Amino acid sequence: MAPPSGPVRAPEAGGAAGARIRAARKEAALTQQGLSAAVGVSRQTIIAMETGDYAPSVYLAIKIARALDVTVESLWGDET
Structure confidence at residue 75 as a pLDDT band (50, 70, 90): very high
The whole-model pTM stands at 0.79
pLDDT digits 0-9 by tens, 18-29: 999 999 999 999
Q: Are 18 and 51 in contact (CB under 8 A)?
A: yes
**Domains of the chain with CATH codes:** 13-75 (1.10.260.40)
